[in-house]
Chain A
Amino acid sequence: MPILDHLWIIPLLPLLGSAINGLLGWKWPNKAVHSVALASTALSFACALEAAREFLDYYDQFHHAFVKQFFTWITAGTLRAGFDLQFDQLTIVMVLVVTGVGFLIHIYSTGYMAHEEGYFRIFSYLNLFMFFMLILVLAANYVLLFVGWEGVGLCSYLLIGFYNLRKSATDAGNKAFIVNRIGDFAFLLGIFLLFRTFHSVDFTTIFDHAASLPTEAMGQFGTLTVVCILLFIGATGKSAQLPLYVWLPDAMEGPTPVSALIHAATMVTAGVYMVARSHVLYTHAPSALYIVAIVGCATAFFAATIGLVQSDIKKVLAYSTVSQLGYMFLACGVGAFSAGIFHLMTHAFFKALLFLAAGSVIHAMGGEQDMWRMGGLGSKIKITFMSMLFATLAITGFPPFAGFFSKDAILAASLNSQHGGKVLYAVGLAAAILTSFYMFRLMWLTFWGQPRYDQHQVHVHESPLNMTIPLIILALLSLAGGWFAFPALWGGKDYFSDFLGPILGTGEAASVVAGHYLELTLSGVAVIAATLGLLVAWRMYRKDVKQGPSTGLHEILYRKYYVDELYHAVVVGPLVWLSRNVLWKVIDVGLIDGTVNGIAHGTSAVGDTVRHTQSGNARSYAVWVLIGAVVVFVIIFWPIVHPVLFGGLR
């Protein structure tokens, strides 16, 4: 098992690429820079494939996850946090998605970023991101997972603010970083509580131990429930769920490949991965599971409604990502973890494709992102158009595209699972209709209809091959990526959840397959929902439409429910006020500067008083000499002077 025994090589390769480009890339030509980046990513992908093959052999023999301790990182008391890597079926899915989709996006970036300043910088950051993301998914304990978790946050910050001369970009980077801090703080508390409870941070130890604990009753807030809720708050930060989703739409300030890699396909799904990884804890804490389901479901619907009216093509996709992440959490929340991971995978394909295709559109339009200034592009950039269409059909859930299978699995689970319910299903279905509407609205505004841009100014051109090839590959994956989990009713077999079964449990599969008749109905309903969204979009946007005045509900949605304004008023405003009027003007200026300046002023004042002794007047010096002589005399002859002066007091 050459690779499996040296798992560290998978994350190390991108780290090396990042270091080489980061240190030396500034004086290299573009070709050398992206050769290094592509080679390291491709090798990492190849190693991941080989490791997956070796693991399957290993699993046939030993029937448990492969865990290897490479070195001990922290020891303190009973705490041992090591550089331990784990490889199992769940890791295989994640590692292959990260390295595979990551590699395609690297190829795309060579085209998209070709004329940008700081070519070496973006590849260095992207590789560094791959390193941390791989650490995150390979980690065998929560502490190492947290290292990856923070690392991808750092890279996200760096890449959102990539255009570092633009204030809005650096602000968005700060926002992403700061909002994530809130979640990360809760995550950290969760890890502390886990260590306190289980005296270990290793996955295997914790999960073995937790599995033997009794399931906490619904509504009971025991240790496990609190741990799960804290971990989930961490996930809401990283995976942009209510109420911490606000950073993700702003993160679109980054270059489009970054949005595709980090803010669609991989990093934002880290929260879903973490929840699925901790499924043993969650299944023992139904209250936490319920919260996950509700938050996921609410986010799926809420973000979709905002996506309905956005005019920036990337903003639509950003809200769509938030919404789809909500679906994944909904799946986890109803106990269908493998359905959540399945949607994570298919979403990685089609959402990365959507972003890359949107990037290709922006590239073709010479930097224009407003859909109201596009239109009729379908006939001019055919490859982009076709791949975008594939991705749209996938995300809206038309068979046989990937999204149909994963979304169907989630909706079915939300209705049938013991943790699910009709309300969750109904809201999820409504979100599916909205998804279909805003995606086809995007298609109509962008690719169909009449051009709404100045055709003399903008020369629409198809992107170069290094951008279109990743599009084509991802389009094929968006089509076929769902076939791992063919519904049983079509004579298929859910290979995906069987594959993940050893890790995520097989209990859910039984509850999902509640009967062919029901499954058929649910699939039918889902397709009808998607068609409904399509028809509404067709009716509203098929004709030559103009951007109308924004009023009423439209305005509220367009302004994103005024959430940013609300947060600004409730959190940011008071915090800034507190910082300015208390921390700055009282504590900093008054206390800290006051102390320092006070000492200086005091010294100066004492000097001011005392300097008058140095009058420059020779006779006053003479008096001082005399006084000094008297003092010396008194000190020397104290035994004699004392009784003379104070004798009378005795």
Chain B
Amino acid sequence: MIPTNYYLVLSAILFGLGIVAFVFKRNILTIFMAIELMLNAVNLAFVAFSQSLGKPDGEVFVLFVIIVAAAEAAVGLGIIILTARNRRSLNVENVNLLKL
């Protein structure tokens, strides 16, 4: 059986990649995908803990996260499509109406 540590390290690596992409990427779609990546990294950690502790709590959490992610994807993609339509660009730098 694969040790829990491996899952956790993988989860941390995926989460870190997500953060880096989230901060440094300019394409909104990529940022959105980075968020999804972070969510799924957390999901992986939950499942790993659930497995190692022998309790179903983690799996329940994962289901919740997936639901929230689905809802978020619906809203987020809607926003992205509108942004792309209005601005003819997916660069996050251009989304700056609130800038002073």
Contacts and interface: CB of A to CB of B under 8 A. Distances in A.
Interface of A: 611, 614-619, 622-623, 626
Nearest to B92: A618
Contacts of B100: 611, 614-616
Interface SS of chain A: helix
A623 B26 CA distance: 13
B23 A615 contact: no
Given A622-B23, A623-B23, A626-B19, A615 B92 contact: no
A611 B99 CA distance: 10
Interface residues of B, number: 13
B97 A616 contact: yes
Contact of B22 (A615, A616, A617, A622): A622
Residue of A618, A623, A626 with most partner-chain B CB within 10 A: A618
A173 B98 CA distance: 62
Contacts of B92: 618-619
Contacts of B19: 626
Interface of B: 19, 22-23, 26, 31, 92-93, 95-100
Contacts of A626: 19, 22-23
A576 B28 CA distance: 70
B15 to A, nearest CB: 11
Contacts of B93: 617, 619
A618 B99 CA distance: 10
A616 B96 contact: yes
B99 A617 contact: yes
Of A614, A617, A623, which is in contact with the most chain B CB atoms at under 10 Å from its CB? Answer: A617
A578 to B, nearest CB: 47
B99 A616 contact: yes
Nearest to B34: A622
A623 B20 CA distance: 10
Contacts of B26: 619
Contacts of A617: 93, 96, 99
Nearest to B26: A619
Nearest to B24: A619
A420 B22 CA distance: 106
Given A616-B99, A619-B26, A622-B31, 10 more contacts: A611-B100, A615-B99, A616-B97, A616-B98, A618-B95, A618-B96, A619-B92, A623-B23, A626-B22, A626-B23
A619 B27 CA distance: 11
A430 B95 CA distance: 100
Nearest to A612: B100
A617 B31 CA distance: 14
Pairs A-B, 5 closest by C-beta atoms: A616-B99, A616-B98, A616-B96, A618-B92, A618-B95
A623 B19 CA distance: 9
Contacts of A622: 22-23, 31
A614 B19 CA distance: 21
Contacts of A611: 100
A616 B99 CA distance: 4
Contacts of B97: 616
A618 B96 CA distance: 7
Tell me which of A611, A615, A616, A622 has the highest count of chain B C-beta atoms within 10 A of its own C-beta: A622
13 contacts: A614-B100, A615-B99, A616-B99, A616-B100, A618-B96, A619-B23, A619-B92, A619-B93, A622-B22, A622-B23, A622-B31, A626-B19, A626-B22
A203 B23 CA distance: 90
A346 B56 CA distance: 115
Contacts of B96: 616-618
Nearest to B31: A622
B19 to A, nearest CB: 6
